[in-house]
Amino acid sequence: MTWSTAMSARSGSDAATVIQTVTVIMRVVVDLTFLLGTRHLALTGASAEVLRPARQLLIFASVVTLALNVADPLVADEDRKAASAPSAHCS
């Protein structure tokens, strides 16, 4: 293996690690925003009519995230990764 090959392999894994880290951080921020936001609204006496759109958006975002996590490996023809995609990205 040459130096440039080793560097490109390392750069690829570093890039994947950075992307995964950013994705996890974004997911945690979004989850906390929704979970804490809806919790705050519920504790301050918000009606079900006020909470319903926030909960529907949270469910929609979760379903879309799951679909994207499964679709990417399927398109790349990596069935084993598609089967483990939902658990691989859970925070």
In a domain, residue 6? The reply is: no
In a domain, residue 43? The reply is: yes
In a domain, residue 58? The reply is: yes
Domain tally, the chain: 1
Return d(Cα 41, Cα 64) in angstroms, integer.
Answer: 24
In a domain, residue 63? The reply is: yes
In a domain, residue 51? The reply is: yes
Centre a 10 Å sphere on the Cβ of residue 13 and count the other Cβ atoms it contains.
9
- The pLDDT of residue 91 is above 80: no
Listed in sequence order, the residues at least 6 apart from 79 whose beta carbon sits closer than 8 Å to its beta carbon are: 73
pTM of the model as a whole: 0.52
In a domain, residue 49? The reply is: yes
- The pLDDT of residue 82 is above 80: no
In a domain, residue 2? The reply is: no
In a domain, residue 32? The reply is: yes
Residue 68, domain extent = 21-88
